């Protein structure tokens, strides 16, 4: 599928060059790419789910490696893999229910069952096992044993049965692809509308005459605050500027344009202002399985200040930001360094930054993210409602399969 591979290469280049900003845009484009991969994937007569899973895994490895810090890419890959498994399990369950196996012992039923042989439990188990893995020797032996147990039938009947089974398998493969694509479309719709679904809960959390503190700029926070304003809530917003990119200036300007009273402060002034604040509301880059938050730089300091003064620290995050991984040394593994030019002008300090000379003694470190541990978070508000940090692992378990936590396949060793 050269056209799909061209789309994958283009998306990989965009991720490597950091041309896509924001978890929502990245998650949506990832889901759209995987939808194209699934729609162009040829499904065999057997192991349809395995074929789709392998195709999504192969693409997922490439796009995750292109920008590992953008955790929403891996989240969507795992979500799509989970969707494939769920849809395949649903089809298998429906097929087993269609077998009509009954446990009645009436004489009439016994006569009927003598005329029409019923599938054995081994055959049903073999069919279920073959959906998500290649056929093994044990599976083949079970199939041979079950077929030998059936009474002989005329050759014409056997040919027609084989053709009907082939048609049924082809129909099931098309049905699986159709159901998976429909589920991915719903996932894309959920990603697109996550801001609106979170904003609908604003009136339940923001009350009259409160003072809200936030840092930097987040579209989710902006929509959340504006939704509370539209519900006739009167409150003030204190915006920390979010150095060194100063995205808080943009958020304060947008809030003022919507009629919200905004005050811009320096990041270092958060501890001095926190005692006048009723609530801290921030956006997140990712939410880990333990309830910890990967957030823009400077928010750990704000969380500590809020915890010290018993101010609620609320995190807004769409479901596409829920990551099933646990942070192991997140400051090193789950962070990236931005350009030093955001902090210092290279022209003024070029002689001190030249490592080739003895004067190269000035180094600039510009990390992009902070890690906020779960004990500093009061509440998570997602598109499915409000949740405590201790419940996040259970919420995340509903979106992912344990088999897909590690997307990269292990190389198979031959004998």
Q: What DSSP assignment string belongs to 137-163?
A: HHHHHHHHHHHHHSPP--HHHHHHHHH
Q: What is the pLDDT of residues 190-236, one digit of tens each?
A: 999 999 999 999 999 999 999 999 999 999 999 999 999 999 999 99
Between CA 8 and CA 266, with CA 318 as vertex, the angle to 5 degrees is 105
- Separation of alpha carbons 300 and 308, rounded Å: 12
Largest CA-CA distance found in the chain, in angstroms, rounded: 99
User: What average pLDDT does the segment 171-191 reach?
Assistant: 90
- Which residues, in sequence order, are CB contacts of 95 under 8 Å at separation 6+? 127, 172
What are the angstrom distances between the C-alpha of 365 and each of 17, 33, 338, 339, 356?
Answer: 20, 34, 8, 8, 19
The residue with greater pLDDT, 156 or 89, is 89
- Catalogue all structural domains in the chain, each as residue range(s) with its CATH number: 2-193 (1.20.120.420), 201-404 (3.40.50.10470)
- Residues pairing with 303 in the sheet: none
- Segment holding 255, helix H or strand E: helix 247-257
Confidence at residue 357, expressed as pLDDT on a 0 to 100 scale: 59
Strand boundaries in 266-413, DSSP class E: 279-283, 286-287, 293-296, 313-316, 369-372, 379-382, 385-387
Full-prediction pTM beyond 0.85? Answer: no
Pairing mode, strands 279-283 and 293-296: unpaired
Q: 32-36, 176-180, 329-333, 375-379: which range is least confident on average?
A: 329-333
Mean pLDDT check: name the lowest of 8-22, 187-201, 397-411: 397-411
Among positive and negative, which fits the CA dihedral 337, 339, 344, 349?
positive
């Amino acid at each position: 599928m050269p056209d799909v591979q061209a789309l994958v290469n283009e998306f990989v280049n965009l991720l490597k060059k950091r041309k896509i900003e924001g978890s929502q845009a990245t998650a949506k484009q990832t889901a759209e790419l995987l939808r194209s991969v699934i729609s162009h994937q040829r499904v065999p007569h057997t192991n349809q789910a395995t074929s789709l899973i392998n195709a999504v895994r192969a693409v997922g490895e490439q796009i995750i490696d292109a920008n590992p810090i953008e955790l929403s890419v891996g989240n969507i890959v795992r979500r799509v893999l989970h969707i494939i498994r769920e849809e395949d399990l649903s089809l298998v369950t429906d097929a087993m229910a269609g077998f009509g196996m009954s446990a009645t012992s009436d004489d009439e039923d016994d006569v009927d069952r003598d005329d029409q042989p019923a599938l054995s439990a081994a055959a049903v188990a073999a069919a279920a096992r073959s959906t998500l893995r290649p056929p093994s020797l044990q599976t083949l032996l079970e199939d041979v044993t079950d077929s030998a147990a059936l009474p002989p039938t005329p050759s014409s009947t056997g040919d027609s049965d084989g053709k009907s089974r082939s048609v049924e398998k082809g129909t099931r493969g098309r049905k699986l692809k159709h159901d998976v694509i429909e589920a991915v479309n719903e996932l894309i719709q959920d990603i697109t509308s996550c801001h609106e679904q979170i904003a609908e809960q604003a009136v339940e959390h923001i009350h009259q005459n409160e003072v809200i503190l936030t840092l930097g700029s987040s579209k989710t926070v902006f929509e959340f605050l504006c939704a509370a304003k539209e519900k006739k809530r009167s409150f003030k917003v204190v915006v920390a500027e979010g150095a060194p990119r100063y995205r808080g200036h943009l958020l304060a300007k947008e809030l003022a344009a919507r009629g919200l009273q905004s005050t811009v402060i320096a990041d270092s002034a958060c501890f001095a202002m926190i005692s006048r604040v009723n609530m801290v509301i921030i956006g997140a880059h990712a939410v880990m399985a333990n309830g910890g938050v990967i957030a823009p730089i400077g928010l750990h300091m704000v969380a500590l200040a809020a915890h010290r003064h018993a101010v609620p620290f609320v995190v807004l995050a769409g479901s596409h930001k829920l990551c099933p991984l646990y942070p192991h040394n997140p400051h090193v593994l789950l962070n990236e360094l931005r350009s030093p030019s955001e902090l210092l002008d290279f022209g003024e300090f070029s002689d001190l930054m030249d490592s080739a000379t003895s004067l190269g003694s000035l180094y600039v470190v510009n990390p992009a993210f902070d890690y906020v541990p779960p004990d500093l978070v009061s509440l998570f508000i997602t598109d499915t409602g409000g949740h405590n940090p201790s419940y996040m692992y259970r919420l995340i378990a509903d979106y992912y399969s344990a088999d897909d936590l590690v997307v990269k396949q292990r190389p198979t060793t031959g004998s």
